Chain A
Amino acid sequence: MTENEPQKYARSKEIYQRIRCMRCTHRIDLEKDQKEAYCPACGLGWVITWVTPDIPMVLRRIMPNIPK
């Protein structure tokens, strides 16, 4: 499978230490093991877990008053 442009894009920019803001889809760069991050575009904060040492995933948003 040769890499065409979409695949190159996904590899170069998405695979390491980066999440997508789930609300506005802005990409957010992370430091290794970072546990929280705020979106520079919409301001929403995200709780992060690491699937592998290089692949972060959003667990949920940061929400001070979680409804019961």
Chain B
Amino acid sequence: MRQVAYVDLTNRKVTIKPIPEDLLRKFLGGRGIGSYLLYNHTTKGIHPLSPENPLIFSPGLMTGQFANAMGRCHVNGKSPDTGKYGDSNIGGAFGAELMYAGLQALVITGKAAKPTYLFIDNDKIQLRDASKLWGKDTFQTQLGVWDELQDPDVKVACIGEAGEHQVGFACILHQLKRSAGRTGQGALMGSKNLKAVAVRGSQSLPVKDPQKLLEITRRQYEYIRRTKIFEITKRWSNLFAWVVNNEREGIVVRNHRANFYPEGYGHLDVDIFLDKYSEKMLACQQCAMHCEHRYEVKEGPYKGLKGEGPEWIAPLHFGALVGNIHWDVILASFEKTNRFGIDASTFGLYLAWLMDIYDRGLIGKEQTGGIDFNFGSAEAMVKLPELINKDEGIGKVISHGADEAIRQLGDKTGEFLYRCGRGLTQEAVNDRILRATCLGDQTSNRGNDHLRGRCNLEFMGLPAEVLSKIIGRPTNPDPYAWDTKAFFAMWQQNLNTMSDCLGLCKFWTQWFAPDLFGFEQPLEVINAVTGWNMTKDELWEASERVWNMEKMFNVRDGEDRRHDTPPKIFFEPIKEGARKGLCLEPDKWNALLDEYYDLRGWDRNGIPKPETLKRLKLDKEPSHII
């Protein structure tokens, strides 16, 4: 039977309990069981950095199984960044190792009296002294744990100094770049004096029908490896998304000064990265797509720098967004954020904001400590991670909440820090021009989120009958049309929720490309492993349930329709380029939101109706079953 371990750091107490199978069938694993545990182990209004806020690791239901791309782990905790529902998903091999140690979930509460790390050695869980690791970066920490345990096969998830200082956008890092990035779970970990979680697992995972699982896995692999997207991703990673989004004028340049970045031509082209920096490709556990670059900088001021990544977010958030055109500066800054345990994505957004208000004369060198913060400044890009890491100077100013940063730098500066209704910094995508995508992103429970609600199929120019077949309803493929987009957004959110619950990488699903996995293919895997004979409708409903569980967390704290509002700038027309004049029109946006709420079974204020909660069997929550 699958288990959950509770670790109370204050009282140094460990309890392990079985998870009833019917609960797993309702919530699946990963993000599902994580959101259940978060809701059940918190109360209304709990402070994100209080010892009572749990930090929850939960591998997907299928993580670690002999199945394609089932290797991911979820992290849940009320967000220190936004004060709302928080979570993040992490690749690599950490989740599978937790499963091999017998744990479907790990719930950490309390606060250790001194720096501590957890060592999970199959069914033994030890709290160990981390005094020697405190103050170390994430790479040194992983090496330190291996050294102490004399085992480099132990899988470690840890924080850097940023997490120790409870920087609002500190991440939890595993390997060289696999991270639980957004929503500040690293700060939550740091607030518990918890430096790392190390896992060694050697148990096998039960499978109901191993022969069938083998057959499914082989068949699905043979299919996927012949797709075009597989060939592209295994060579380029998702850097193609950088090209696609730039060329369709769908990115944010220099903090919303433009939406297309030709200045990067001849500098930030993908082939330049591949030729000059990429050394080889790496993969997460259970994945044949191996989308991650190992890179090395061979000349110039950053010569000798090695790291992993970058994904499309690097040329976007460290390039166009901040007006930089140099790959080596991107890599130098990106590597520091990983090393220090700072969420790279949020970092880029704050950096762009500082450059913008510097450019407008709202701050100067007195505030930046003499550092040049003009757009494109390499000095700012490589020094800011260090200041955040040390919690000093301008780094400290931006590290403890957006409101606090605005308070210190002046109200006027707040006009240029773009945040969604849930208070999360707005990703550098120009969502105002895509209807389903904007709706899907902006209604995401952790805040605007391409990994929850972005509808990539919306701007691929697919024939209507093809798109409709995928979504399961007539769907208008015109990205600028408003009709049919509410269901499209909900479908995407449910598909992505399912992926996060199972431990499936979204790069293998129809989030990424039209000919990849929908609901049916993971369902085959679930049934071979569990023997549940689950139907597609049941899997869809489980995803819906999880979405509503997260929503209930936010609603309990007073969330409503206002929190589904995009940043103000999305309602302003685009000033130039091929999409000139496009924006969100408030009446159309509100009608779309109404339609979405109706589909979700929520009232016009965005609150789940009692009958919806009953239908999804959420009406008894918190049920405190585990």
Interface residues of A (CB under 8 A from B): 1, 3-7, 9-11, 14-15, 20, 22-27, 49, 51-52, 55, 57-61, 63, 66-68
Alpha-carbon separation in the docked complex, A10 to B229 (Å): 10
Q: Is the beta-carbon distance between B271 and A51 smaller than 8 angstroms?
A: no
Question: When the two chains form the complex, which single residue of A11, A27, A60 contacts B247, counting CB atoms closer than 8 Å?
Answer: A60
Which 8 pairs from chain A and chain B are nearest by CB? A25-B461, A22-B247, A10-B515, A7-B515, A1-B223, A15-B228, A9-B466, A66-B265
Encode contact with A along B202-231: 1 for CB under 8 Å, 0 otherwise. 000000000000000001100110111001
Task: List B contacts of A7 (CB < 8 A).
Answer: 514-515
Q: Is the beta-carbon distance between B269 and A59 smaller than 8 angstroms?
A: yes
In this assembly, does B10 line the interface, its C-beta being within 8 Å of a C-beta of chain A?
no
Q: Is the beta-carbon distance between A22 and B248 smaller than 8 angstroms?
A: yes
Whole-angstrom distance between the Cβ of A47 and the nearest chain B Cβ: 8
Q: Is the beta-carbon distance between A10 and B235 smaller than 8 angstroms?
A: no
In this assembly, does B270 line the interface, its C-beta being within 8 Å of a C-beta of chain A?
yes
Q: What 11 additional pairs, Cβ within 8 angstroms, besides A9-B462, A22-B248, A58-B244?
A: A7-B515, A9-B463, A22-B244, A24-B461, A52-B235, A57-B243, A57-B270, A58-B243, A59-B269, A60-B246, A68-B263
Task: List A contacts of B243 (CB < 8 A).
Answer: 22, 57-60
Main secondary structure on A side of the interface with B: mixed
Q: Is the beta-carbon distance between B460 and A25 smaller than 8 angstroms?
A: yes
Alpha-carbon separation in the docked complex, A61 to B269 (Å): 11
Interface residues of B in 448-498 (CB under 8 A from A): 459-463, 465-467, 469-470
Whole-angstrom distance between the Cβ of B218 and the nearest chain A Cβ: 10
Task: List B contacts of A3 (CB < 8 A).
Answer: 223
Q: Is the beta-carbon distance between B514 and A55 smaller than 8 angstroms?
A: no
Whole-angstrom distance between the Cβ of B390 and the nearest chain A Cβ: 35
Q: Is the beta-carbon distance between B460 and A20 smaller than 8 angstroms?
A: yes
Q: Is the beta-carbon distance between B262 and A6 smaller than 8 angstroms?
A: no
Encode contact with A along B507-531: 1 for CB under 8 Å, 0 otherwise. 0000001110000010000000000
Task: List B contacts of A26 (CB < 8 A).
Answer: 461
Task: List A contacts of B146 (CB < 8 A).
Answer: none
Q: Is the beta-carbon distance between B236 and A57 smaller than 8 angstroms?
A: yes
With contact pairs A57-B236, A60-B265 given, residues A25 and B231 touching in the complex (Cβ less than 8 Å): no
Q: Is the beta-carbon distance between B460 and A57 smaller than 8 angstroms?
A: no
Q: Is the beta-carbon distance between A51 and B466 smaller than 8 angstroms?
A: no
In this assembly, does B232 line the interface, its C-beta being within 8 Å of a C-beta of chain A?
yes
- Chain B's interface size range is 35 or more
In this assembly, does B6 line the interface, its C-beta being within 8 Å of a C-beta of chain A?
no
Alpha-carbon separation in the docked complex, A61 to B513 (Å): 22
Task: List A contacts of B460 (CB < 8 A).
Answer: 20, 25
Alpha-carbon separation in the docked complex, A60 to B267 (Å): 11
Q: Can you list 8 A-B pairs, Cβ within 8 angstroms, ordered by A?
A: A6-B469, A10-B228, A14-B228, A23-B578, A58-B244, A60-B243, A60-B265, A63-B265
Interface residues of B in 234-270 (CB under 8 A from A): 235-236, 240, 243-244, 246-249, 262-263, 265-266, 269-270
Task: List A contacts of B224 (CB < 8 A).
Answer: 1
Question: When the two chains form the complex, which single residue of B219, B240, B269, B271 contacts A1, counting CB atoms closer than 8 Å?
Answer: B219
Whole-angstrom distance between the Cβ of A48 and the nearest chain B Cβ: 11
Closest to A49 in B: B271
Q: Is the beta-carbon distance between A59 and B271 smaller than 8 angstroms?
A: yes
Q: Is the beta-carbon distance between B514 and A6 smaller than 8 angstroms?
A: yes
Whole-angstrom distance between the Cβ of B587 and the nearest chain A Cβ: 27
With contact pairs A25-B460, A51-B231, A59-B269 given, residues A6 and B515 touching in the complex (Cβ less than 8 Å): yes
Closest to B228 in A: A15
Task: List A contacts of B269 (CB < 8 A).
Answer: 59-60
Task: List A contacts of B235 (CB < 8 A).
Answer: 51-52
Closest to B457 in A: A6
Q: Is the beta-carbon distance between A61 and B227 smaller than 8 angstroms?
A: no
Question: When the two chains form the complex, which single residue of A1, A27, A52, A61 contacts B220, counting CB atoms closer than 8 Å?
Answer: A1
Q: Is the beta-carbon distance between A10 and B513 smaller than 8 angstroms?
A: yes
With contact pairs A23-B248, A25-B460, A57-B240 given, residues A63 and B469 touching in the complex (Cβ less than 8 Å): no
Which has the most chain B C-beta neighbours within 10 Å: A1, A3, A27, A67? A1
Q: Is the beta-carbon distance between A10 and B231 smaller than 8 angstroms?
A: no
Question: When the two chains form the complex, which single residue of B240, B459, B513 contacts A25, counting CB atoms closer than 8 Å?
Answer: B459
Whole-angstrom distance between the Cβ of B55 and the nearest chain A Cβ: 37
Task: List A contacts of B247 (CB < 8 A).
Answer: 22-23, 58, 60-61
Q: Is the beta-carbon distance between B231 and A20 smaller than 8 angstroms?
A: no
Closest to A63 in B: B262
Q: Is the beta-carbon distance between B515 and A11 smaller than 8 angstroms?
A: yes
Task: List A contacts of B514 (CB < 8 A).
Answer: 6-7, 9-10
Alpha-carbon separation in the docked complex, A10 to B515 (Å): 6
Alpha-carbon separation in the docked complex, A1 to B524 (Å): 10
Alpha-carbon separation in the docked complex, A5 to B532 (Å): 28
With contact pairs A20-B461, A49-B271 given, residues A67 and B263 touching in the complex (Cβ less than 8 Å): yes
